[in-house]
Amino acid sequence: MERRTFVSNVALCAIAISTSGFIRFDGYSYVGDCETTTDILGPFYRPNSPLRNNLSIMGELGESIELVGKINHNDCTTPYHKAKIELWHCDAQGVYDNASQDYRYRGTTYSDLNGKYSFNTILPVPYDVGEGTIRPAHFHLMISAAGYQPMVTQLYFVGDDYLDKDESSSSPSAKKRILSVEQLTNGGKKVLFDVNMSQNLSPESAAIDKLAGVYTDNNNITKMVFFNKDNSLWRKNELFGVNFNYIGDNTFTLPGVDPELKLSYHFEILSLNTTKLTISQLNHNGKKQIQVLTKEKK
């Protein structure tokens, strides 16, 4: 187990744990590479959804569907008991419940002794996100398991007309997350999705706390609020927030973002009272863009 310095001049570390190696390359993909791929969290995540796996609502429109699967350790075989699985999606009109205490079409369950989980809900629909852009139908999942970085991903469905037009679902990494929908004899539908956890760099909670706070640019135009949730770095948005993955060297990135953009959030502790954040990415022309913000003093 390799230990690397996470925050300059403070006794805080992150642990880098190697994942299982590839078995062989078959000319198209690495056979044995079973890691489940991530996807963008999206703006509609709400924490603390009710503990339930039946999200169906009496009298609501929508096609009934069962989502079933198994959570495995990173060996892709051993079942993970008591992994926390959060599911959320839009209703039959393409609307998310972002405010009510009913947490409509949002729920949390845990994997059993065999790693299995299930949800009963309705099939989400494509929806317009503005400017003529339509997202394909999708489930959102967040899987949290001790010893692993939280897994955030999205599930899509074979035959959706908008898959090829969507930046996330058209990514090669989404191929294994475009699921076939099985038609059941009782008129319902069923999809299967197994999850294999991945061990990545995991900064300690105290290190995340050091970075949490309010960051602004020199002109006080841009403001970003970062916070610690379950030992992970999050940035606040209008509903709750978006999560980050730690990639080493005091640097984070957003899961599911096109790696060719080389998006990074690099933190540098300049003193006990000052932390600098440098956001770097390539635009679609390959030009590097830099934005610098500073953490406000408490």
Q: Give residue-wise pLDDT tens across range 247-283.
A: 877 889 998 888 888 999 999 878 767 889 999 999 8
Q: How many angstroms separate the CA atoms of 11 and 3, rounded? A: 12
Mean pLDDT of the chain: 85
Instruction: Give the tokens for residue 183.
Output: 């038609």
Domain ranges of the chain: 18-196, 202-295
How does pLDDT run across 54-108, given as a tens digit for each residue? 999 999 999 999 999 999 998 889 999 999 999 999 999 999 999 999 999 999 9
- Topology given in CATH for the domain delimited by 18-196: Protocatechuate 3,4-Dioxygenase, subunit A (2.60.130)
Whole-model pTM: value is: 0.76
Q: What angle do CA 76, 78, 83 make, to 5 degrees?
A: 95
pLDDT of res. 21: 30
How much is the pLDDT for 28?
40
Of the two residues 170 and 1, the one the predictor is more confident about is 170
Tell me the pairing of strands 106-110 and 84-88: antiparallel
Cα separation of 247 and 259, whole Å? 12
